[in-house]
Amino acid sequence: MTTLRNLPSIDSLLQTESAAHLIARFGRPLTLDALRFVLDEIRIRFKTSPTVDSVSTDSILSQAESQLTAWTNSTLHPVINATGVILHTNLGRAPLSDATIRAMDSVSRGYSNLEFDLETGKRGSRLIHAESLLQKLTGAESALIVNNNASAVLLILSALANKKRVIIARSQLVEIGGGFRVPDVMKQSGAKLVEVGTTNKIRLSDYESALEETIRLSVSKSVTTLVMHAHRSNFKLVGFTEEPELKDIVHITHQYNSILVDDLGSGALYDTSKYGLAHEPTVQESMQAGADIICFSGDKLLGGPQAGIIIGKKVLLDKIKKHPLARAVRADKTCLAGLSATLTHYLKDEAEREIPVVKMMSLTLNQLRSRAEAWMNELGQGLALSNVEVEIESGLSTVGGGSLPDESMPTFLLSLNVKSPDKFLKKLRQQNPPIIARTENNKILLDPRTVLPEQEGALLVGLKKLLKA
Ligand SMILES: *Cc1c(COP(=O)(O)O)cnc(C)c1O
């Protein structure tokens, strides 16, 4: 039996070969911390139960190793998304294209011309980097990239609508998720919210009377107001509803010398209806309708890194770029490099081939079925040993990420009929990398649509392990 007195000393532990390995892997100070931590723990255990089993040098070192691994393991790591939700906000939204990752890698490894003009050798502007791509793709006069779309909305309103009236339809005062409420952000910017219409109906005349009222209330005729149009993103308005077309709202807004800001949310650059989904308003359509400012996310349907993209009239963008908040929410070099690479895919008309999010939407039922079947065949070996029933079922994938509410795409799923689905889901999450699946009718469902091809091997290894156990 070990006693407190013959517990190995730190010095003697440090003499061992295992300790040398730990120091090489984790550094000396942290290894010392871990050894002290483990010894302290043992001393405490001795106090409460002096008859604990013998404590060997080896066991102390292996406990120290577990501790060091726990301390140095990142809490953020890759998972396998088998949920069939393409833009899963909790799972990090859009996976990036190879070219995007390469671009982000190359500017972060070394120095870059982030704010350096290679022509003149003088200070340049970080704002130019994705700007010309966005101009080419959308026809906008000017563009600005910020941290995310939430900060884009806050910045636009702070720069253009502070202390001014901002007119918005009641049906668009939505909460996007994660506590982002359009009315709260509007208030935060110092704008005065003017709600028009009812929850389900808004007419052009509602906009018109609010615009008229603004003119009446203004001391000077030059005070413009702002009309905000926000995409409802995550819910559908159905039934007895009415909403004017954007181009008509723009028209009336301009008649009153006011500005129209369109928060598109997802901001697709392509028509989602070609994948059998509802039509999501595109950036190009908003431009055509005449919106003065348009903002959208980089990591929703666009399929790029987290970013907020603001495009529109140069005079307005110039004002936005000069606002102090612009500095606080600016995009970093990896974002600018990555976003440029993603946008280039659109310019080269190769989005469907290169951008994972678009590729996932474009998968055919035949492709999905053959992947699910390949998984089932591969698992065949393990199944003989367990009593889990495995089938291919038809089911639905969704877009998610606050895009296209209620919209789904037919898919084929690998379905596992296990005894306790919740326990099995938990075991899946304990794999390395963790596998995130869903349950329906007491079955585990895995959707090939959102599993990246390079993760299929790891998925099958994880599943086989669990099915054999
Ligand atoms: C998602 C969304 C936002 C927030 O965008 P983030 O990029 O997540 O900050 C704002 N407005 C609308 C309409 C959205 O759909």
**347-385 per-position pLDDT tens digit:** 999 999 999 999 999 999 999 999 999 999 998 866 666
Cα–Cα distances in Å, from 33 out to 19, 65, 350, 426? 12, 11, 52, 32
Confidence at residue 201, expressed as pLDDT on a 0 to 100 scale: 85
Q: Judge if 187 and 49 occupy the same domain.
A: no
Between the CA of 399 and the centroid of ligand 1 the distance, in Å, is 15
| Residue 346 shares a structural domain with residue 215 | yes
Same domain for 365 and 348: no
Instruction: Determine which residue's CA is closest to atom 6 belonging to ligand 1.
Output: 149
Q: Quote the pLDDT of residue 2.
A: 56
Query: How many C-beta neighbours within 10 Å does residue 351 have?
Result: 22
Query: From ligand 1's centre to the CA of 142, what distance in Å?
Result: 21
* CA 297 to centroid of ligand 1, rounded, Å: 6
Taking the centre of ligand 1 as the mean of its atom positions, its distance from the CA of residue 281, in whole angstroms, is 14
Q: How far apart are the first and last CA of the chain?
A: 36
Q: What is the pLDDT of residue 217?
A: 82
Confidence of residue 404 (pLDDT cuts 50, 70, 90): confident
The answer on 311 and 169 residing in a single domain is yes
Residue 212 and residue 324 in one domain: yes
Of all protein residues, the one whose alpha carbon is nearest to atom 7 of ligand 1 is 149
Ligand 1 mean position, distance from CA 28 (Å): 45
If you average pLDDT over residues 409-433, what whole number do you get? Answer: 95
The pLDDT of residue 433 is above 70: yes
Mean pLDDT within 153-163: 93
Helix, strand or coil for residue 298? coil
| Closest to 373 in 3D by CA, of 415, 431, 436 | 415
Whether 35 is in a domain gets the answer: yes
Q: Return the residue whose CA atom lies nearest to atom 5 of ligand 1.
A: 149
Sequence-ordered list of residues with C-beta below 8 angstroms from that of 422, at least 6 positions apart, any chain: 439
Residue 453 lies in a domain: yes
Q: Of the residues 354, 389, 404, which one is the last residue of a structural domain?
A: 354
Tens-digit pLDDT profile for residues 2-13: 566 678 999 999
Of 155, 196, 111, 401, nearest in space to 295 by CA: 155
Q: Is residue 221 part of a domain?
A: yes
The domain total for the chain is 3
Q: Answer whether residue 5 is part of any domain.
A: no
Q: Please indicate, yes or no, whether residues 337 and 375 belong to a single structural domain of this protein.
A: no
- Helices 456-468 and 421-429: angle between axes, nearest 10 degrees: 130
Asked whether residue 4 is domain-assigned, the answer is no
Q: Are residues 393 and 327 in the same domain?
A: no
Atom of ligand 1 nearest to the CA of 266: 15
Which residue has the least CA distance to atom 13 on ligand 1?
A: 265
Q: Which helix (H) or strand (E) holds 463?
A: helix 456-468
Gap from CA of 306 to ligand 1 centroid (Å)? 11
Could you tell me the pLDDT band of residue 184, with boundaries at 50, 70 and 90?
Answer: confident
Of all protein residues, the one whose alpha carbon is nearest to atom 12 of ligand 1 is: 265
Instruction: Give the pLDDT confidence of 204-243 residue by residue, as tens digits.
Output: 999 999 999 888 887 665 556 899 999 886 667 777 778 8
pLDDT mean over 23-48: 93
Lowest mean pLDDT among 25-39, 122-136, 223-237: 223-237
**2 lies in some domain:** no
- By residue count, the chain amounts to 469
451 DSSP assignment: S
Of 335, 354, 373, the last residue of a domain is 354
In this structure, the answer to whether residues 399 and 454 fall within a common structural domain is yes
Pocket perturbation via mutation, ligand 1, pick of 146, 151, 180 by most ligand atoms within 8 A of CB:
180
| 45 Cα: distance to centroid of ligand 1 (angstroms) | 52
Higher-pLDDT residue of 51 and 404 is: 404
Structural domain boundaries, residue 344: 98-354
Which own/partner pairs from 384-390 qualify as long-range (CB within 8 Å, at least 24 positions apart)?
Answer: 385/467, 385/468, 386/467, 386/468, 386/469, 388/416, 388/417, 388/418, 388/467, 389/416, 389/417, 390/414, 390/415, 390/416, 390/417
What's the CATH code of the domain at 391?
3.90.1150.180
Residue 1 lies in a domain: no
Q: Average pLDDT in the 51-55 region? A: 67
The reply to whether 372 and 413 lie within a common domain is: yes
Q: Output the average pLDDT for the chain.
A: 91
CATH number for the domain that contains residue 200: 3.40.640.10
* The predicted structure's pLDDT at residue 388: 84
Ligand 1 lining (C-beta closer than 6 Å):
148-150, 153, 176, 180, 230-231, 233, 263, 265-266, 297, 308, 402
DSSP bridge pairs for 226: 166, 259
Q: Are both 254 and 321 inside the same structural domain? A: yes
Q: Is residue 176 part of a domain?
A: yes
Tokens for 38, please give them.
């483990």
Q: Whose CA is nearest to atom 2 of ligand 1?
A: 265
Same domain, 390 and 291: no
- Composition of the chain by helix, strand, coil, percent to 5: 50, 20, 35
Ligand 1, atom nearest to 174 Cα? 13
Q: How confident is the model at residue 53 (pLDDT cuts 50, 70, 90)?
A: low
- Atom nearest to 150 CA in ligand 1: 9
Q: What is the pTM of this model?
A: 0.92
Query: For residue range 59-91, what is the model confidence (pLDDT) as tens digits?
Result: 999 999 999 999 999 999 999 999 999 999 899
One domain for residues 368 and 334: no
Say if residue 1's pLDDT is above 70: no
Would you state the pLDDT for residue 469?
Answer: 72
- 136: amino acid identity, one letter: K
- Tens of pLDDT, residues 264-302: 998 899 999 999 998 889 999 999 999 999 999 999 999
Percent of the chain with pLDDT over 90: 75
Among residues 333, 354, 375, which one ends one of the domains?
Answer: 354
CA of 152 to the centre of ligand 1 (A): 9
